[in-house]
Structures are given as structure tokens and as C-alpha cells.
Structure 1
Amino acid sequence: MSVRRLAKDQPASFAFSKETMKKVDWWIAKYPADRARSAVIPMLWLVQKQEGWVSEPAIRAIADKLDMAYIRVLEVATFYTMFMLEPVGSAALIQVCGTTPCMLRGSGELMKVCKSRIGEKQTLSADGKFYWEEVECLGACVNAPMAMINDYYFEDLTAADLNQIIDDFAAGKAPKPGTRIDRVNSAPEGGPLTLTDPGLYDGTAAKPISKLPNSDPAPVPA
């Protein structure tokens, strides 16, 4: 487990937007009054969606809203790596998977692109648009190498693919997530290789069964 600390530079204050507060109230209402603190993780996520990261003033605001000690919210925020504790890129947060399947398929080359285009990992780019980090398995091993960029998976990536994706985000575009090769979801490249006969599904290949197997009663022992 890595040590996770709050950013050195913090904003002076934090305020929930009207839209965020509406969602916060919805989450709190899902729980009994004496269990409202169960909404702490959704609230941290809502703050991150509003600000891009979770600041110390935001942690205090959540604690006040849920009548929790500040340290309890801080414990949750620092435990779960999905919560960013320092400012991230305004255009893209790039999380490159570095677990074995992705590493064997070339994630090291993706990290080289990030380092050359953005800088050292877990450092905001000079223009403030990009931030990247190496993460553990994101559960898309079949589509390795891959990266989660903002809220979406970008899969079957090459270094050239990632360079183009960064160019697109820098230009204010929204590159399409998903695979970069000829496949659907996690199917083989080029399409399925098994169960391709339409008769298996439309009934034309079905054969009538005149007698169910093992339908005869077992003989009675003498």
C-alpha cells in the first residue's frame, strides 16, 4: 500500500455546487438517519467530479455535512486510490495499467509516451492540462495494453494511439473510448471464431428429439 497524503498546496475554501448538493442530498436520503455517514464515499466521488480532485477543505465540508470527525473522512479519502488528492489535468487524467498482462503487451511504451508528453508520473503537466499515473489492474486484461482516461477505458493501445489521443484532448476534442483494433468489446480481433453458425440461434439447425436420453426407467435388480 502506497503512502497517500494531501497535496501541499490547498485552496482556501470549498463549496458544493447546487447540482452537487442536489446529488449529495439524494445519496444521504438513501440511508436511515442514523446511517447517513454511509454516504461518505459517494460524496467524495461527487466532490471529485465537481473539482477534479479532493481537497482538504472539501474533506472538512463532507465531514461537517455528515457530522463526522475530519479524520474519519480523511481515512476514507486516503485509503481508496480512486480519489485524487492533488490537482489533475483539466483535459485528461491518464491512468496507465502496469499489471503483468498490460506490461507484457506494451504498457511500458505507453508510459514512455506519457513521460515524454506530460512529465514524470503523478505530476501535473506544465500547461495544467494533463496528469498521468501508473495503476494496478483495471480489469481489462484481454484488451491489453490499456489506460483509463478520465471516466473511460481506451484499449488495445499502441504508443502512436496514445500520442494521437493526447493530441485530441489537447485540441479540445473528445476521442472515442474503447478498443483501437477490429474487435467488439473483448471478442477476438476480426470477430468471433466460435459459435458462428446462425442455425445455432434461429432454430434451423435444431434436430427434433423423439426420445429424451436416459428416459427409460432403470431395471429393477433381481
Structure 2
Amino acid sequence: MMNNLFSIFDPSTNIFNLSLNWMSTFISMLLIPYSFWFIPNRHFMMWNFISNKLHNEFKTLLGINSFKGSTFIFISLFFFILFNNFLGLFPYIFTSTSHLNFSLYLSLTLWISFMIYGWINNTQHMFIHMIPQGTPTILMPFMVLIETISNIIRPGTLAVRLTANMIAGHLLLTLLSSNGVTMSNYLIMILIFSQILLLTLESAVAIIQAYVISILTTLYSSEVN
């Protein structure tokens, strides 16, 4: 039963023996609004509104020492994760964010970039960050060890957080829908209503997880400046 349940996440879609599962990651590019219209449509206006709100919030988190345009990295990360989460809610579309290798590669690449930049350009600041202010001398070695471990596991926690939240909702939807064959008509109506509520919840989770990952990545980036 467990093998059949988790098989919904297996990459198995192919056309003419060509694996097209990870193409869903690039399909999200079609959701980006085009900017060559003389009169922007509602999609483009909503895109600009969300981008401006995120830019102001990320700018505040990064501080005054951040580089100009650095917020666009995290805005792009937000939209990239958001579109991939939403595409996974449609039937027969491969959910790339529900795989640990995808989310781990994404978070690990950003974390390594931050660490390389921080240790090369702000070495003294990185050493100071390992020991909180006011720490007793006898506890300094332990604090360095704890801060080092917490820093190393950051990309793993980001990846597991995104993957676990996306898997949990999909599994719950699959478990409920698999029991619909043996139910009566009244129970099927209740099942359909509960599935709609869960799908609405999953849509909210897709937005929240994209926002949380982008905010945490921004906070990790602000610590190396």
C-alpha cells in the first residue's frame, strides 16, 4: 500500500520514451506576463504589485549594506517556487518541488554562494557571528560548535520544509480520493466537498511555502553582509 501511495511522485511520464517530467519546471515560465503590451493587463498589474511589495520587504531585511538589485534574486526565487507549487496541484503534472533533490539543489546552491561570499569578503564578521554578544568565555567553544552546526543544516531544513509540506497535501488528497469507489452517493458528495477544501488549503500552502523559503533565504543572505 505504501509503495502504491508514494508512487504518485515517481517520474513516469514519457512521450516516445522521452522523459518529460521535469519539463513542468520550465512550463512555469509561461505564467510570466509579457511586458510588450501598450496597455498592461490585469495579470501584468498584479505581477508588478506583488513584485513591488516583495522588493520593499526584502530591501528592509537585507539592510542598507545590500547591493542594488539583490532583491530581484529572491523575488525570482519566490515566483519560481510559487509557480512550481501551483502546477503540482493540476492533474497529471509532475510536482518537482515535492522531490528532495530539487529543493536541496536549490537551497544548497544559494547557501554555498552566501558562504563563499561571506567568508571571502567579510571573514571577521563571519567569525563574530559565531559567538553571540555577552557569551561567557567558558561557553564560547560550545557556542561556536552550536552555531556551526545550525549554519550547516540550514539548506537541509529549507529543502525538507518545502518537500514535506508539498508531499503531505498530495498524499492526503490521494488517500481521500482512493476511497471514493466504495462510498455511497451521499459520502461521495461529502468527499468532493472536502477535496475542494483541501485543494483550497493546498493553494494557500503553495503561496505560504514560497514566501517562507524566500524570506528565510533573504535572512540568511543578510547575515553575511
Same fold (TM over 0.5): no
Which of structures 1 and 2 has the bigger CA Rg?
1
- TM-score of the aligned structures, taking structure 2 as reference length: 0.27
More strand by share: 1
Bigger relative contact order (CA 8 A; separation at least 6) = 2
- TM-score of the aligned structures, taking structure 1 as reference length: 0.28
More helix by share: 2
